[in-house]
């Protein structure tokens, strides 16, 4: 992780020599080194830190959703978090909001509203099937409303919508990282605390109840924690797909299904995966930059097809 972070911090449209990094961090140098130091401290390192936070949050949320739904194809987007966030952001852009805080706030509100709607409409019966179906319906409804907003958008707004929907870490700044870090750490810790209940869910809900775990409060707690964790991440970065699906599944194939190891390993693997994806997005088309959602989809899409083919054999 450290080697990848250093490589990501040094690479991009402006190459920063790795041996000079300690001196740059200490403030030495002038001329080109002053520019390198500014790029390193104000652009690259905050971006790496944001990639770590977002990747870790999406991956551990995906692991929790896969445990809750007992399905390796589950991810946070199933309960409407991503679609609700996208709808909030698109509505804000089309209605005239131009600043990142305004768009991000609208996306956060949209994420929470969509998740609460999925829970209220589908969480009354036993099991999680109702929540899943309500999430699918809300995703479809949000997609339709996004289409209406897109149809009404101007050319300038369409450009903003396109970049937001494809995901980006370009908004990374130290104050944003400082605000997100304790939030991601706290909610990840709360998810880690439920590893025993997630292990019991592997046996089935009835068996988990017989082992002493109350299912209704557990379902409510996991959905709420995932919504609170993923909502701000979607609000800041836009929609970044497949990290919450692919990373925990790969970790499960490698380490097994014990959530005592699966959850922290997904946390670390998600941080590595999104840092690597952002690095690739910045270096494969220099001096341009690919939207990070394209990179994650190019990896996640084929993996999902492989997974479906493997399950069918």
Q: What are phi and psi of 99, to 5 degrees?
A: -85, 150
At 119, give phi and psi (nearest 5°): -70, -45
Residue 17's pLDDT is what? 83
Alpha-carbon distance of 293 to 20, in angstroms, equals 32
Give me 134's structure tokens.
């309500």
Q: What is the pLDDT along the chain (313 residues), one digit of tens a residue?
A: 888 888 888 887 788 888 888 888 877 667 777 888 888 888 889 999 999 999 999 999 999 989 988 887 778 877 788 888 888 888 888 887 767 777 778 888 888 888 888 878 876 666 667 777 888 888 889 889 888 888 888 887 777 777 677 888 888 889 889 988 999 999 999 999 999 999 998 888 888 888 888 888 888 888 889 888 888 888 788 888 888 888 998 898 889 889 999 999 999 999 999 999 999 988 887 777 888 888 888 887 887 788 777 765 5
For the segment 258-294, what is each residue's pLDDT rounded down to a tens digit? 999 999 999 999 999 999 999 998 888 777 788 888 8
- H helices, E strands: number in the chain: 15, 0
Structure tokens at 143: 């997609």
Nearest to 270 by CA among 311, 305, 229: 229
DSSP type of residue 78:
G
Alpha helix stretches (DSSP H) within 123-255:
129-152, 155-166, 174-192, 195-201, 205-210, 215-237, 243-255
Cα distance between residue 88 and residue 107, in whole Å: 4
């Amino acid at each position: 992780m450290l080697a990848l972070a250093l490589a990501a911090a040094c690479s991009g449209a402006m190459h920063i020599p790795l041996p000079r990094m300690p001196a740059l961090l200490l403030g030495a140098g002038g001329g080109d080194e002053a520019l390198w130091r500014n790029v390193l401290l104000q652009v690259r390192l905050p971006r790496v830190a944001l990639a770590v936070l977002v990747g870790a949050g999406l991956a551990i949320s995906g692991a929790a959703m896969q445990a809750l739904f007992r399905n390796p194809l589950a991810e946070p987007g199933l309960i409407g978090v991503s679609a609700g966030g996208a709808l909030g952001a698109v509505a804000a852009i089309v209605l005239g909001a131009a600043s990142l805080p305004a768009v991000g706030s609208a996306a956060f509100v949209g994420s929470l509203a969509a998740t609460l709607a999925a829970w209220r409409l589908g969480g009354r019966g036993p099991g999680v099937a109702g929540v899943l179906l309500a999430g699918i319906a809300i995703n479809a409804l949000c997609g339709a409303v996004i289409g209406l907003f897109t149809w009404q958008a101007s050319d300038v707004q369409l450009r903003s919508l396109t970049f937001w929907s494809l995901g980006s870490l370009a908004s990374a700044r130290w104050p944003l990282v400082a605000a997100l870090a304790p939030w991601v750490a706290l909610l990840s810790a709360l998810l880690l605390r439920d590893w025993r209940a997630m292990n019991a869910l592997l046996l089935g809900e009835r068996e988990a109840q017989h082992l002493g775990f109350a299912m209704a409060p557990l379902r409510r707690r996991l959905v709420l924690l995932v919504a609170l964790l993923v909502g701000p991440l979607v609000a800041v970065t836009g929609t970044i797909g497949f990290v919450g699906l692919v990373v925990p599944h790969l970790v499960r194939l490698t380490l097994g299904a014990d959530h005592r190891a699966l959850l922290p390993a997904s946390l670390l693997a998600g941080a590595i995966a999104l840092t690597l994806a952002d690095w690739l997005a910045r270096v494969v088309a220099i001096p341009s930059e690919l939207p990070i959602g394209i990179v994650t989809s190019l990896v996640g899409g084929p993996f999902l097809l492989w997974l479906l083919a493997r399950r069918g054999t």
